[in-house]
Chain A
């Protein structure tokens, strides 16, 4: 009880500090220490946020970005886990294929964007391809690692129980690799958000990336900040949601520590 109260007190104090930073920002804007063309006060950003949502503009852009991100990330997750499982559970594939994938890992994935544009044009399909391509790496490599690191003893248990190959994958390998896979999916979430924004900027697709770019070009700094705040919020909410999912799915890991 007491401990809980202390935690909340600290939390409140921390919120107060954050609030004072916003107040400072307001003060700087009010005193026009930085030109209002670049830096709107939090009041103006907030007004713009409310207006954008009430007339539906900003809501649509947010939905667009979430859609790009979600489709690309889901496609990457499914493909990444499937391919990673195949490669990770086969010694031959691990010897011949995995090193090539490791070699490609440090490649800045955004460099694939021009190639995607050349193939698919400035389209929705291009954006989805780029997002999925970028997001697949962390998931696939984590899955390969997770499958390769399954305790061999567990495979022996599965053999002595004469479990089918499918049962071994779903009851032994996949759960055993799940911490790695979920960590990869969390990384990919960030990658997917960044690539969504970049693709929206480049291809002029409906989304927050396009919104912030247009706002910047028109020097509507309040709208610009509203968009950036929303992007930050998107990153925060998706990452919290992922944490909650991990917490639920990996409850057994808490017991191990």
Chain B
């Protein structure tokens, strides 16, 4: 069984390895001179260089700081609204039009507003990331609260728990697995939005780093940043999937489809 798994993984690695090797060979054979491409060996060297002078580490710190700060704020707001809307049908119905009107605004469209209000820097990026993260959390936590076993709610009513305790002791624990799925999705969104804001306009972090490398006509460094951004996205995803497994077991993953 495990050898089968290993075999599957090896097969999966075959294609990317072949592509990389072919590209390296082609680049060397043609003595590639390009503003947009560089052979894998040079990309690795550039990546090592960027690590050596700490530039990529600083950029990573800036991007992750903005992404996580925005994610935290977005999660708190989204969760508060989602739970409130999930508990109170009246509130949910009254807010429906407002939510539907604000939600489809693409987060990136807020960029110019944030820019004139807050200027360049962490704050505007955090605000935009937070706005983007609110919606998936709100929608999914609202659905999670609504789908809580009605019997549980009856129990809490029978126990005459005060509202705050009902939220804290019954609703949040019951909805937690699905809320975590929402959090995982939002974490991915947070990273994407942070990098996008940096690429579009904000002069900090990995997005700005990759843009600078492009403008400096350093395709090796640019692609090194691309690889590194991909690796961070992948690592973040893996980390959260593993955390989800650990915390909630297999059952939680079924919430993915919702």
Contacts and interface: CB of A to CB of B under 8 A. Distances in A.
Contacts of A233: 104
B210 to A, nearest CB: 5
9 contacts: A99-B9, A106-B234, A194-B107, A201-B201, A212-B111, A228-B113, A231-B109, A232-B101, A232-B109
A19 to B, nearest CB: 9
Interface residues of B, number: 58
Given A110-B207, A231-B106, A119 B116 contact: no
Given A13-B93, A95-B12, A96-B14, A18 B101 contact: yes
A110 B192 contact: yes
A115 interface: yes
Contact of A239 (B104, B230, B236): B104
A37 B196 CA distance: 26
Contacts of B117: 38
B210 A111 contact: yes
A104 B112 contact: no
Nearest to B229: A111
B191 interface: yes
B50 interface: no
Contacts of B111: 201, 212-213
A118 B219 contact: yes
A111 B191 CA distance: 11
B251 interface: no
Contacts of B233: 106-108
Given A95-B12, A96-B15, A106-B237, A228 B110 contact: yes
A100 B20 CA distance: 12
B104 A236 contact: yes
B172 interface: no
Interface in A181-236: 190, 193-194, 197-198, 201-202, 208-209, 212-213, 215-216, 219, 221, 224-225, 227-228, 231-236
B237 to A, nearest CB: 4
5 shortest A-B CB distances, which residue pairs? A235-B104, A216-B112, A99-B12, A118-B36, A232-B105
B16 interface: yes
A69 to B, nearest CB: 10
A45 B177 CA distance: 42
Contact of A14 (B9, B94, B112): B94
Contacts of B97: 11, 14-15, 17-18
Contact of B226 (A17, A38, A115, A212): A115
Interface of B: 8-9, 11-16, 35-36, 93-98, 100-102, 104-113, 115-117, 188, 191-192, 195-196, 199-201, 206-207, 210-211, 213-214, 217, 219, 222-223, 225-226, 229-230, 233-234, 236-237
Nearest to B211: A114
B102 A232 contact: yes
A142 B181 CA distance: 19
A110 B196 contact: yes
A170 interface: no
B217 to A, nearest CB: 8
A113 interface: yes
A30 B111 CA distance: 24
Contacts of B225: 111, 114
Contact of B16 (A11, A37, A100, A198): A100
A221 B117 CA distance: 10
B12 A96 contact: yes
Given A10-B93, A95-B8, A96-B12, A108 B192 contact: yes
Contact of B98 (A18, A227, A235): A18
A235 B232 CA distance: 29
B223 to A, nearest CB: 7
